[in-house]
Amino acid sequence: MQQFKTNKLSLPLQAQQYLLGLIEGETYRPGEQLPSEADLAAQMGISRPTLREALLNLEREGIVVRKHGVGTFVAIGYGHRLESGLERLESILELAPRQGLRVEFDALQVQKEPASQELGDKLKVAPGTPLTNIRRVIVADERSVAYMWDIVLPSVLPPANVDETFNGSVLDLLKQKRNCQIAQAIADIIALNADTFLAEKLQVEPGQAVLLIEETLFDREGMVVGFSRNYFLPDFFRFHVVRR
């Protein structure tokens, strides 16, 4: 039985570090199930509430995935994440090959929809203006890892230009267009819990931690040309910002 020392670290944090050591030491590999809470608590000589707090922290960091009524698993993407600096304007399709990963798209939907008041404000158009909406799921290692929703002005990207065979990046598509020179993007990063809709798309339990990046694209004239809401599972993606 593991005996934790009396020090400045709380018991949940010591338990968290112990479990992380087991995972990083490959006692439990990505996708494998951890022992039951009762067994883990007994192994570490701590109470189950203390253990649950440690597991919750690991879940928030995307290291483990807890499935209600089933158990706790090491996140499939742990140790093999897509990592990117947000200061660089590039798509996942540009990023993945450099890191030796292959990604695919699933559940593609391309629709022309009227702008809501909120999206009209984002894209600087009147409510009711037709917008090109592109939604799809990103799959890596046979697992749904992100849900992407891009909204673009039809004058920039007509729906007819994106059919059911589309398997690329909207950002890459826009960067190739001569009448739309993408210059910069402003991104908001939001942590949230998956609702029922997102949980179904990402094949996770409702309440799973998800990272949302809302991004507005601007051309060289400073005009808004697109807006996106991209939802990422944090156990497969890691984003950083270089500050100078």
For 234-244, the pLDDT digits (tens) are: 877 766 665 54
pLDDT given at position 165: 65
Band the pLDDT of 126: cuts 50, 70, 90.
very high
- Residue reference for tokens 């931690």: 209
pLDDT given at position 57: 82
* Domains of the chain, first to last: 11-74 (1.10.10.10), 82-240 (3.40.1410.10)
Alpha carbons 57 and 61: distance in angstroms, whole number: 6
- Mind listing the pLDDT tens digit for each residue in 144-194? 888 989 998 877 777 777 766 666 677 766 666 655 677 788 888 898 999
217, 160, 144, 187 alpha-carbon torsion, rounded to 10°: 10
pLDDT given at position 222: 83
Per the model's pLDDT, the better-predicted residue between 82 and 38 turns out to be 38
Alpha carbons 112 and 166: distance in angstroms, whole number: 16
Average pLDDT, the chain: 79
pLDDT given at position 21: 84
- Mind listing the pLDDT tens digit for each residue in 63-79? 888 887 888 888 765 55
Alpha carbons 45 and 40: distance in angstroms, whole number: 8
Alpha carbons 189 and 176: distance in angstroms, whole number: 26
Whether pTM > 0.75 for this model: the answer is: no
pLDDT given at position 7: 59
> Is pLDDT above 70 for 101?
no
